[in-house]
Amino acid sequence: MPSTARVTIAQRDSQQLVTENLDHVFDTQFGRHDTVALAAGIDTTITWPTTGELFVYLTAMGGPTTLSIRPTGATVGWIVNVVTSLRTPILLPKPTNAASFILNAVAALDPVSMVFF
């Protein structure tokens, strides 16, 4: 069933005024959902769906901690700071040469929600 995924990102300055804004609608017929609990310091492998999804939208909560994300087999990736009591949104593209990615949190996090589209 066709659907859309809308992504809105706003950059704010020190006075909380929006200085840049991205508002994009992706047409998609896909939408896989998953939730994973992250223990402290343990690599958790997430397998990318094989039905055509190109992005994953994650929300992490339960910090303060650091969450590292990297494609399987890679030595570098992304580092995200997760703050206390706020949901931290993360939007990532599908890795070019990997069928999965690895999440690792310095401290345990509340279950991380993922939507693949």
Sheet holding 100-105, edge to edge: 44-47, 100-105, 65-71, 78-82
Q: Please state the pTM of the whole predicted model.
A: 0.72
Distance CA 33, CA 28 (A): 14
Tell me the per-residue pLDDT of 29-53, one tens digit each, with 9 for 90 and over.
666 788 898 889 999 999 988 888 8
Give me the residue spans of the domains in the chain: 30-116
How many alpha carbons lie under 13 Å from residue 113 in its C-beta half-sphere?
A: 8
- Alpha carbons 72 and 18: distance in angstroms, whole number: 35
CATH class of 30-116: mainly beta
